[in-house]
Amino acid sequence: MMAENWKELSKKAKAELEEAKPLLRKAERKLAPEQKQEARELVKAVKVALRSKDEKILAAALSNYSEFKQRKLSGIRVNKLWENIRDLVWILAIVLFVRWIFIEPYRIPSGSMVPTLLVGDQLMVNKLIYGVQIPFTTKKLLNLKSPRRGDIIIFKFPPHPTGSPYVKRVVAVAGDEVSVKEGQLYINNKPVPRQYQGPYTGPNDPMPCADVDLLEENLDSVRHSILLCHTDHEDNNFGPVKVPKGAVFGMGDNRDNSADSRYWGFIPLGHIKGKALFIHLPLDPTRHYFPRWERFFKIIK
């Protein structure tokens, strides 16, 4: 019997607490300062009594609050539908604010960043790191720092800024001279160090070659993997070009299977949405979007 009494009392207490916040908010203008303080103390007493698991203490706290409500709040009614809508609007506003300022999800649609990022990987993007951007524009309210060589960025595709965003690795910044000679990347006439790791056998989009080599590239101390076709690269040349002020040069880690700055030009800083942080949901489209468990929460480098 005591257990049943406690169950009923706790159920009533939770209902009263759920109603208390919108009720007291609606009574804001009606109550004097000392009455508002009294109401807050009575609500707090109900919360403390509920945690105490003591039936007598909870019954007394509920009685005191109910008496106050009857005396001071009897003419006030709460529209539960409106309160639910109001809460939902606030939640949506907070989510949109967080997405605008701080962090946003992004899904990898192609294999241009293999092996670093695989098709189906869903990652979180740090939008604040380079500054606060005005929504639906390429202008920024606040500039914090510029992208550095080695950063993986998500950006508005320069030829079609209103389309789906792109992801590439920054290989050169303003003032740098970029060139590719027989498949080797050069920055300011110096070859970017790289080391052969062996044949690549992991997941990949259809490649323009049968055999693919895995290499580790060291770009300003950012060590990352790249792929190259295991073929003669005599015709794989580009540049040299100089990166203009207010832009960066981006390339895919899948060097022979990436449409990047070599084909459509520089990436304006105003087009950059943010920097890739980590993979939060790695899905494999070749296996009915079954998760790649080993890639969950993998930090992106």
User: What pLDDT is stored for residue 167 in this prediction?
Assistant: 94
Of 177, 193, 248, whose CA–CA distance to 226 is shortest?
193
Token digits of residue 173: 């910044």
Phi, psi angles (nearest 5°) of residue 246: 80, 20
Contact 17, 39 (CB under 8 A): no
Query: How many Å apart are CA 200 and CA 229, to the nearest integer?
Result: 10
pLDDT digits (tens, 9 = 90+) for 165-221: 899 999 999 999 999 999 899 999 999 999 999 999 888 777 778 788 999 999 998
Query: How many Å apart are CA 166 and CA 147, to the nearest integer?
Result: 15
Given 69, 168, 273, 275, the catalytic residue: 168
In this prediction the pTM is 0.69
CATH of domain 103-299: 2.10.109.10
Q: Is the dihedral of CA 120, 126, 130, 136 positive or negative?
A: positive
Return residue ranges of the chain for CATH 2.10.109.10. Answer: 103-299
Is 168 among the residues known to form the active site?
Answer: yes
What does pLDDT average to in each consecutive run of 10 residues of the chain (301 residues)? 67 78 74 80 82 82 81 66 68 65 77 92 84 65 79 92 90 96 94 94 79 93 91 82 96 92 94 90 88 90 87
Name the residue type at position 172. A
* Residue whose pair of structure tokens reads 């207010």 in the numeric block: 246
Given 69, 112, 225, 261, the catalytic residue: 112
CATH of domain 2-78: 1.20.1270.10
Return residue ranges of the chain for CATH 1.20.1270.10. Answer: 2-78
Contact 31, 72 (CB under 8 A): yes
